[in-house]
Structure 1
Amino acid sequence: MLLRSVWDYHTRYVEFAEWLGLLDKAEVPVFNDSDLVRWNADKRYLLELRERGVAIVPTQIAAGPCLREVVAGLTGQEIVVKPTVGANALQTIRGIAGSDELSRAMDDLPEAAYLVQPFLPEIQSEGEWSLLFIDGEFSHAVLKRPADGDYRVQLVLGGTSALAEAPSAVREAATAALAAVDTRRAPLYARVDGVVAGGRFLLMELELIEPYLYLLDFPAADDKLATALAARLD
C-alpha cells in the first residue's frame, strides 16, 4: 500500500496508528514502512537525528506547564511553537517570547507536546528548500516562499514554490540527513525540508508520510517512483 491520501493523519493520529497496526497484522506491505511512518509521525525524531550528527533548527520539546517554562527561558527572542504531531502549520504560532501577544496565543493551544524553535528570518528572505528523494536517490528540488508578511510556506496559506537547482552543499546536507535515518533500506520516497541559515543547511522536517512530492513540477519523477515501487513489490 502506497500512502498517498491520509492528509489528516495528524488530527486523527490514534486512529491512524491503529489502522497501521491492522495493516501489519494482515501483513500488508506499506510504503513507506509502517515502523518508519510511526517514527516519522512525531517530530521528536529531530532530536534523534541531531544526536546522529544532522544539523537541525535548534529545537526544544515541551508539553503542559513545561511549555511556558521553556518559552520563559527565551524571553525577548522571536520563536515559533508547533506541535510535534502536526502538518500544514496547524496550531503553529510565532511571536516574541515573554510578550502578551504570544502568551494569549499559547492560551489557545490544545494540550500536546510542542517544538519550540527560534524564528529564522531566512525563511522569508531566502525561502525554504524541499529536496525530493526516490528510493534513496535525489530526484529534484523546489524552493518555497511564504506570502508577503507571512512565514508559512504552505500552498494552502498563500505560499509559492518553484522548481530550483539546489546548491551542492544543500544537496549533500539533505542526502546526509536522509542517510541518518535508522532503516535497513532507504525510504521509497522522502522529502527533506530545510533552510540555509548561518551558511549551512538546517533540517526543519523530514517528510516520510505521503508528503507532497511536487510531481507536477518534475513529471519525470512519476516514472522513477512507479519503477521503484514495482521493484519493491516484485
Structure 2
Amino acid sequence: MSRTAVLVSCAELPSGDGDDDAVVPALSALGFSVSWAPWDSDYDFAAADAVILRATWDYPARRAEFLSWCESVPSLFNPAGVVRWNTDKSYLVELLDAGLAVVPTALVEPGSPASFPSSDFVVKPSVGAGSRGAARFASGADASAHVAALHAEGHTALVQPYQSSVDSAGELALVYLGGLYSHAFAKGAMLGSTMDAAGLYLEEKLTPASPPADVVALAEDVLDAASALLGILRAELLYARVDVVRGADGRPLLLELELTEPSLGFRQADEAAPMRFASAVRQQLA
C-alpha cells in the first residue's frame, strides 16, 4: 500500500536546495508517494502519512505562525514540541546547565544590557537560520549597536566567544537518523560567506568527514541529554544534526544541535544514506 510523504519547504525554495534530491527515489522505493510543498501553501498536510520538515528556512521572521502550523500537522517530523524547543537557541543554555560541553553562551534579553568577552566573539539572534543576523567582533569591541538592532527586531541576542578553530578546521556536522549515527561532513567557516540567491542562508563549503572518537562521544551525549530534556526517546527523532567545533584547549564543543530543518549533507554522504533516511521514516510511522 502506497503512503504519502511530503517534504516541506518554503515559497522561495519550493523543492529545497538540491541536497534532498536523492531522498525522493529512496522514499519511493520503500512505498511512498513523494511530493514537495511550502509549509504555508494550501497543501493538505493533515492527509499525508509523513510530513517532513526539510527547507522551511523562512520561519525565523514568522516563527509564531510557523509553530502554529507545526502544531496543526498530525504526522510532523520532527514533532512540533521538538521544533518549538529547537528553533530558539536558548536551548544551548539548557544543555550547558545539564553539564554538556557547549560553546559558552550568554543570553541577552530585550531591554537587558550586554557584556562581551575579552576575546573575539560572535553575536547572533536566538531565533535564526543560516547564520543570518550573526556577526563577529574583535577582542575589546563594543557590539551594543548590533545587540540593540537584534532587540529592535524582537530577538534575544546570544553572545559567544569566537572559536578560532573554525578558521582552520571548520565545523564537524554529525547526522543521526532515527537516533542512530549515519554520516558526517565538515563545514567551512560561514561568517563572511555569501548569501544564497534566495537570501535565506549563507553558502557553505561542505566535504565528507570521518569524526574522531571524542567528537562522536560528545554528539552521543548531546542527543541523550536533549532527548531527556524533551521527554522523548532518541529513536523518536527522525533526524538530528550535531555541529561540533574545537575549543581553545582542543576539546570538542557543541556549537548547535539542529532538530528542525537542517541540511543533512546527503551530497557528502555515502550512497546508502538516503535509504537510511527513508528507512528511518518507515520506523517513525511504525
TM-score interval, normalised by the smaller of the two chains? 0.7 to 0.9
The equivalent position to 2:214 in structure 1, one of 166, 169, 178, is 169
Q: Helix, strand or coil: the match of 2:128?
A: coil
Question: 1:203 is matched with which residue?
Answer: 254
Question: 1:123 is matched with which residue?
Answer: 166
TM-score under structure 2 length normalisation:
0.72
Question: 2:128 is matched with which residue?
Answer: 86
State how far apart, in whole Å, the 2-side matches of 1:75 and 1:189 are: 34
% same residue:
36
- CA gap of 1:152–1:203, structure 2 versus 1, over 3 A, is farther
Q: Counterparts in 2 of 1:51-130, with a 5 A limit? A: 51-66=97-112, 69-71=113-115, 74=116, 76-96=118-138, 99=141, 102-109=143-150, 110-130=153-173
Question: 2:33 is matched with which residue?
Answer: none
Question: 1:220 is matched with which residue?
Answer: 272
Deviations 1:198-220 (A, max 9, x none): 12111011000021000121131
The answer to whether the Cα contact below 8 Å between 2:174 and 2:242 also exists between their aligned partners in 1 is: yes
One-letter code aligned to 1:62: V
State how far apart, in whole Å, the 2-side matches of 1:185 and 1:158 are: 33
One-letter code aligned to 2:223: L
Q: Helix, strand or coil: the match of 1:190?
A: strand
The answer to whether the Cα contact below 8 Å between 2:147 and 2:157 also exists between their aligned partners in 1 is: no
State how far apart, in whole Å, the 1-side matches of 2:145 and 2:157 are: 16
Question: 2:64 is matched with which residue?
Answer: 14
Deviations 1:147-189 (A, max 9, x none): 7xx5669885453110011111111111111111123222110
State how far apart, in whole Å, the 1-side matches of 2:158 and 2:218 are: 22
One-letter code aligned to 2:219: A
Moved over 6 A (4+): none
- CA gap of 1:77–1:199, structure 2 versus 1, over 3 A, is closer
Shift of 1:76: 4.1
State how far apart, in whole Å, the 2-side matches of 1:70 and 1:108 are: 13
Deviations 1:84-133 (A, max 9, x none): 11111111111136536x34444543331011111111111221110000
Structure 2 residue runs without a partner (length 5+):
1-50
Shift of 1:146: 2.2
Shift of 1:65: 3.3
- CA gap of 1:172–1:196, structure 2 versus 1, over 3 A, is same
Q: Helix, strand or coil: the match of 2:174?
A: strand
The answer to whether the Cα contact below 8 Å between 2:163 and 2:246 also exists between their aligned partners in 1 is: no
The answer to whether the Cα contact below 8 Å between 1:82 and 1:93 also exists between their aligned partners in 2 is: yes
The equivalent position to 1:138 in structure 2, one of 181, 196, 217, is 181
Aligned length in residues: 223
The answer to whether the Cα contact below 8 Å between 1:144 and 1:153 also exists between their aligned partners in 2 is: no
State how far apart, in whole Å, the 2-side matches of 1:46 and 1:133 are: 19
One-letter code aligned to 2:268: D
The answer to whether the Cα contact below 8 Å between 1:123 and 1:151 also exists between their aligned partners in 2 is: no
Cα root mean square deviation, aligned = 2.2
Structure 1 residue runs without a partner (length 5+):
none
